[in-house]
Structure 1
Amino acid sequence: MRKVILAVLVLAACAKSDDAAVDTTAATAAEPAAPAMTAAQSMYAGVWNGRSYRAGAPASDTGSTWTMTFTPADTGLTGTLRFSGQTTDIPIRVDEASHSSMRTTFGPYMSPAAGNAEVTTTTEGRMAGDSLFGSFVATPTTGAKVSGRFAARRQ
C-alpha cells in the first residue's frame, strides 16, 4: 500500500499544474480579421480578367483588356481595375452587389475605350457561373458618352 501512495504522490508532483506561467513578454499584435462578407458579396470577390467592347465599334475592334479585383471591406466590397499596359489601379466603388446583379462606379480615369479621354464609368453586371457579363457607360468630362459591353472570367 505504501508503494501505491508513494506512486500517487510522485505522479501528483510531476503532473503539470493548472496555473500556467504568465508570459510577460509583449504580445504580438494580431492581424485584424477580414470583414465578413454576405453570400452575394462573396460571389464577386476575387480577381477577374475581362474585356470591354464599345457599342458600334467595327468588327475588327478587339476591345480593351483589363484585370479587376474585388476584396471585402468594412463597407462591403471594394475594388480596383487596371487596363492592360497601364500601371495605375483605378478604384471601383461597388454601389450594389446582390445575387442577381452588381452595379459599380469608377473614375475619373483615362479610358482606352473612350479614346484615352478622362471619364467616369458606371457598370451593370450579372453572374453566370464563373463569368461576369454586363454593360458600361463611360461619361467623359468633355464630349459624348461611350457605352458598350464587357465580359470577365474569374481567375
Structure 2
Amino acid sequence: MKTIYLIGFMGAGKTSAGKELSRRLNIPFYDTDDEIIKETGKTISDLFSEFGEEEFRSLETRVLKKIAVEDAVVATGGGMVLREENREWMKSNGIVIFLEAAPQEILNRLSGDTSRPLLSGDKEKIISVLMEQRLGLYQETSHFQIRTDGKFLNEVVDEIVHSLK
C-alpha cells in the first residue's frame, strides 16, 4: 500500500485520525511536526521564532522526503501544501486525503492552544485568512476530501478506510 498523507488545516484532526488509521491498518504512523521536533530538539514555536517560516518550511520538506513512501500514515503540518515540491511529492508517492473542517470548528478546537506560532493575535481572523489562502492547494493536492466537522474520530477514520477501497 502506498503511504497515506493526511493534509488539511491545523486542528482538522490529521494527527488523531492518522494515529487511529495506522492502528486499524497496522502500519506505522508519522507526524511531520513530531519528526521535526525529534530531529531538531526544538518546538515548532521555537523554530519559527529562531529561524522564521521559510526555514521551517525547508525542514518540513526534508522530513517529508525522509519518511517511507509505502505502508505508512503521515499527518502533515497545515502548511505542508504551501510548497509545490511537497504537493508533487505527496501526489506522486501516496494517497493524499484532505481532512476539512469549517473555520468556526477549527477555532473551537484550537481555542486554548498556545503552541501554534501562526495563530498569535486575532485567531478567528487569522484562521479565516489562512484557510482561504490554502483551500485551493488542499483541494488540488488531494485524491479524497473528508469533512471532520461534528464527527466522532471513528466516523472520520471509517470514511478514510472506505475511500481507500
Name the TM tier (shorter chain).
under 0.3
More helix by share: 2
TM-score by length of structure 1 reads: 0.25
TM-score by length of structure 2 reads: 0.24
Considering Cα pairs closer than 8 Å and 6+ residues apart, tell me whether 1 or 2 has the greater RCO.
Answer: 2
Rg larger for: 1
More strand by share: 1
